[in-house]
Amino acid sequence: MSFKYSVFTVMTPDLSIEDAARVLAQLGYDGVEWRVNVLPKDTSAPPDYWAANRCALDINNLSKSAKEAKTFCERHGLSVPALGTYLQADDCETIEACMLAAKTLNCTQIRVNVPNYDKSIGYHRLFETAVEKYRAVESLAKKHEIKANFEIHMGTICPSAGLARRFAEHFDPKYVGTIYDPGNLVFEGFEQWKMGLEVLGEYLAHVHIKNANWVMIKEEMSAKRWEPTWAPLQDGQVFLPDVIRALKEIDYTGWLSVEDFSQGDTMTKLRNNIRFLRFIEKSLE
């Protein structure tokens, strides 16, 4: 049993989509998870993961972007396991456009977010509203035979596997799934790796791989205040061999998509990360 490895292009802001496809194939990745967002207007700005990321499909010209990306993927033998959008569930028109772009790319999954937690509204109201809005997403997923995934993410109403399962259970796992992200769980929502994966069960659809550490930033009211920060895959609080072992134990055979926000040169990170992950998997055989 072997995993398939891809890169979510949010971590390659300095590469064009053409260069990303070529580089990932050369380094031995199996696929690419394309970021879908507005392209930066100021091309002279320094590349940035979120504000000035060149390595994305243009959400304002999705049909053209998807066809271009398909050409580059086919040229270099890469699959597209997922599209990473930043859409909320009530933007049905754009979600449907992203699903059509996914079909162009022979891709079976797109990300559609759940809302952030807002204490002024409260969890229960947010949850009920989010379920109702996501029903429209599920209907679009059925229409286009595309799975809509929401990510287990800090700051949202689904920061843990347990809360993600509570949300996902309102939907058909054929059309709605979860993205498991151990790096996000360093920030909020950690549950033991295998237990969290067992809780997700049939709703586990995709896995992001990144890492993080907690650092002490100041003292306040005689107490130390700590905050999380991104770290290289080998150096964070997530011991990735344990995560990969747990994925093997539950018979997960899907994609591991790298999303490394640590400091450093993009090419070096891409090269080191695929070597590290394949080394872990081989060591666990």
pLDDT in tens, the chain (285 residues): 589 999 999 999 999 999 999 999 999 999 999 999 999 988 888 999 998 999 999 999 999 999 999 999 999 999 999 999 999 999 999 999 999 999 999 999 999 999 999 999 999 999 999 999 999 999 999 999 999 999 999 999 999 999 999 999 999 999 999 999 999 999 999 999 999 999 999 999 999 999 999 999 999 999 999 999 999 999 999 999 999 999 999 999 999 999 999 999 999 999 999 999 999 999 999
Helix (H) or strand (E) holding 109: strand 109-111
β partners of residue 273: none
Determine the Cα angle at 113 with ends 153 and 255, to 5°.
70
- Count Cβ atoms below 10 Å from residue 275 Cβ, excluding itself: 12
DSSP state of 115: P
| Contacts with 139 (C-beta within 8 Å, 6 or more apart), sequence order | none
Domain count, the chain: 1
Q: Which residues constitute the domain of residue 38?
A: 4-283
Here the CATH number for the domain that contains residue 28 is 3.20.20.150
Global model pTM greater than 0.95 = yes
SS percent in the chain: helix, strand, coil, step 5: 40, 20, 35
